[in-house]
Amino acid sequence: MDPTPARSPLPVSARSSGSVRPSLDELRSLLAAAFPEAAIELQDDSHLHAGHAGSRDGAGHYTVRLVSPVFAGMRAVARHRLVYDPVRPWMPHRVHALVIHALTPEEAEAPTRNRP
């Protein structure tokens, strides 16, 4: 048996010790590095998906709310792509799904019906 440990296909920034699913703290750190000025709220929804294909393998389901001026002038698809970029190395092995709410500060303060 080769004593050399197997190398992970994930970049060091996307690996963690322990479970496959990242903790909320790990996910928050990853997003905070990409969006340092953002207000970040996270929720682990994995328990709602027990038995689902992604959950069986240990990957997590999360709801992410980011409030940042960087989203100004961007359509929803562009905002979501921006949020997925730092998380992409973890998908689909650590993160199976993200529900993304990416808002500007003005949108976050507006009544719900005016949000994109």
- Residue 15 placed within a domain: no
Domain count, the chain: 1
- Residue 19 placed within a domain: no
Whole-model pTM: value is 0.72
Please report, for the domain that includes residue 92, its CATH number. Answer: 3.30.300.90
- Residue 30 placed within a domain: yes
- Residue 89 placed within a domain: yes
- Residue 84 placed within a domain: yes
Domain extent for 65: 26-109
Can you tell me the distance from the alpha carbon of 36 to that of 34, in angstroms, rounded to the nearest whole number? Answer: 6
pLDDT tens sequence across 7-59: 333 344 444 444 588 888 999 999 999 999 999 999 988 766 566 655 556 57
Count Cβ atoms below 10 Å from residue 83 Cβ, excluding itself: 21
